[in-house]
Amino acid sequence: MVDDNELERLRNLAVPAPDSEAQTRALAAAMQAFDLNEKISTVPQGSPADLRLTERAQRLWREIMQRKLIATPALTALVALPIAGYAAFEMLREQPPVISNGKVTETVADKPVAQKPIPNQPAISEPLAAAPAKEKKTGADSERRVEDEAQVAPASPPKTELSRSDDRTRQEYGALKDFAKQVPQALPAPPPAPAEVDQLAAGGRADAQAPATAMQPAEMPAGAVAGSRPMVQPAPMPADQMQPQEQNRDRIETFKTNPVHQAAQDPVSTFSIDVDTASYSFVRRSLKEGILPDPGTVRVEEMINYFPYDWKGPDSAATPFNSTVTVMPTPWNERTKLMHVAIKGFDVKPVEAPKANLVFLIDVSGSMDEPDKLPLLKSAFRLLVSKLKADDTVSIVTYAGNAGTVLMPTKAAERQKILAAIDNLEPGGSTAGEAGIKEAYKLAQQSFVKDGINRVMLATDGDFNVGQTDDDELKRLIEKERKTGVFLSVFGFGRGNLNDQMMQTIAQNGNGTAAYIDTLAEAEKVLVEDASSTLFTIAKDVKIQVEFNPAKVSEYRLVGYETRALKREDFNNDRVDAGDIGSGHSVTAIYEVTPKGSGAEQVDPLRYGEAKVDNGGVANAGEYAFVKIRYKLPNENVSKLITTPVTAANEVPSFDEAGVDQRFSVAVAAFGQKLRDADQTANFGYDRILEIANAARGADPFGYRAEFLSLVRLASSLGTNR
């Protein structure tokens, strides 16, 4: 029996402190006993490395705000709605509460770990954290255990027996995180930081140092169980679907390639002269961008006439131009011949050039806010101003939502004032082209120079979408103003909104030219090197009519000039408008003809047609054709006529014996037909075109012909089917 005093002594003794090893064993035994009593499944549930939904949303939002991708409340809502909507939808669709015996099954694992408030936390996290799961009441010890474990390993929540939807919850939350990462990609990119601007200006990519894994799909957590349901990951969205696609609204006039005509049935061909060059520049830009041009953009005559040629010109301004005709074998068809008609305008010397009254009509609508539009336009017109004489006059009219006068008529001697007005142009608004044209003509009349150059120079990228927008109505407006002696030229800029059809219409009816400027070098060619031919008209309403002799020619085909065709009776009608020739301009027209009896005829002869031409009574039976050119002097309204018979004296026995310029122009004609997929050049390869052009390169001071050779090579590599 134990003495009471002994018991009292033992009661007063201090309890020895347990060592750390004993504490660990005791805690492990207690946890094992707890698990056995609670009958908790040992199957791992969910991904221990993942965060909860509210924590995911908070982290996502924090990353977005740190990257400064959200700059306005509207954009904030744009991100918030997809995240909240996706979460709610998935939770309702995939995560219904598990009901057992009429009660909702919940565990302490659903209670989020308490976190310190994040400074300046955006309100977007509140809807996602507004309804945390409730904790199951398991006693103070259980609650303390959860808190202790959270402090030791907050990334590894305890494994409890929730319904198996907990596993799906963690996986779908991972999918939500991946989905949310896609949202900022659809937002407008923020302005680059100064360092990024410097890097872009230096030719580098601002994103070159971005982490390679920044947008990689989330990986499977290390603690995921093999064979469990795979994490749902949305497929990466292609960049071209995330970014809005720029709509191509170029308006190009489509036309059919000139057909073959029988000389016996239709011996006369009539067309208006054309010195435009827009098509060549447009084709060049397409090829340099790695795209074969749309056949509708290829006007063969404009490609041919893009290049300067050394044709023989007239001796005096009394006869404004001279024509040279050459007949040669066809390089793409050994049984046909080419009739090459070259026209050279009188070159006005700079000291003789008349005074110029120019009105710059400049499109400053919102669509012009691109590097190859208004900025290039401003640089181009600065070049033109530097070419003008001190007595020349410049006015500037702009149009966007409405038209306005930026610069009243100003002498070119005040160069800095003119340049300052150009530099201050800014884009914005819609395109009221009709109002701009009317205002420009009004200013041109105010400063009209008798016996001088009075011209409106329209620079635009596209449609007139305010006011009069119909091409026919614009045509009538231009025709009316043309009678006052003020002519109009058009210069196109940019891609995607180019109204080439409108440009051609108003330029042809405004006694002017149409050019397309895609680079500053092209601006220099059009407005500086070719300034005299662009501005100084030496002949207007120039028409060509060729009559073929059926006794010598069975068939003929005009290469190009499809949009310039005239009726036979239009040739002698001085009221019918036609093209103009500027100082020093060279114009080339090429016919492919089938000599009679060559066997290359494509059209069956008329059964009863031979008696009309093969009766021995045909006059001038030795001629191939008779070329007539009708023109008016700039200040006259009555036309004059120049005629040239084409005989054997104009013929060369082989293609190689033709002049260098003739051969090069034929190579350009072949290239244009090839791009249009014409039947006649279907079997004529780019290599042969390259060979002819290279052999006829000749003098090339500005490198235009060398550039042509590179374009042929590009076309050859881009499309072997043409």
Per residue in 401-448, pLDDT (tens digit) is: 666 889 999 999 999 999 999 999 988 766 556 778 888 999 999 999
Mention the CATH class of domain 261-348+538-597+620-718.
mainly beta
pTM: 0.64
The predicted model gives 508-532 an average pLDDT of 86
The pLDDT confidence band at residue 185, using thresholds 50, 70 and 90, is very low
Per-residue CA distances from 142 to 18, 40, 107, 137 (Å)? 23, 13, 11, 9
Q: Which amino acid, residue 12?
A: N
Nearest of 289, 364, 271 to residue 558 by alpha carbon: 271
Helix (H, G, I), strand (E, B) or coil at 256: coil
The enclosing H or E element of 637 equals: none
Q: CATH number of 350-535: 3.50.30.30, 3.40.50.2300, 3.40.50.410, 3.30.565.10?
A: 3.40.50.410
Per-residue CA distances from 688 to 280, 346, 639, 670, 713 (Å)? 20, 34, 42, 10, 11
Name the token pair of 72: 């306005």
The pLDDT confidence band at residue 659, using thresholds 50, 70 and 90, is very high
Contact 453, 536 (CB under 8 A): yes
The predicted model gives 14-30 an average pLDDT of 76
Residues 334-383 have pLDDT tens digits of 999 999 999 998 887 766 778 899 999 998 888 888 889 999 999 999 99
Residue 646 has pLDDT above 90, yes or no: yes
The predicted model gives 271-293 an average pLDDT of 92
The pLDDT confidence band at residue 508, using thresholds 50, 70 and 90, is confident
Please state the length of the chain.
722
pLDDT of residue 28: 79
pLDDT of residue 51: 53
pLDDT of residue 538: 86
d(CA 661, CA 666): 9
Contact 679, 694 (CB under 8 A): no
pLDDT of residue 349: 75
Q: Where are the domains of the chain?
A: 34-204+229-242, 261-348+538-597+620-718, 350-535
Higher pLDDT, 527 or 86: 527
Residue 713 has pLDDT above 80, yes or no: yes
Name the token pair of 191: 């302005």
Residues 538-561 have pLDDT tens digits of 888 999 999 999 999 999 999 999
The pLDDT confidence band at residue 469, using thresholds 50, 70 and 90, is low
Nearest of 468, 528, 647, 672 to residue 588 by alpha carbon: 672
Contacts of 427 (CB under 8 A, 6+ apart): 364, 365, 366, 367, 368, 369, 373, 374, 400
DSSP 246: P
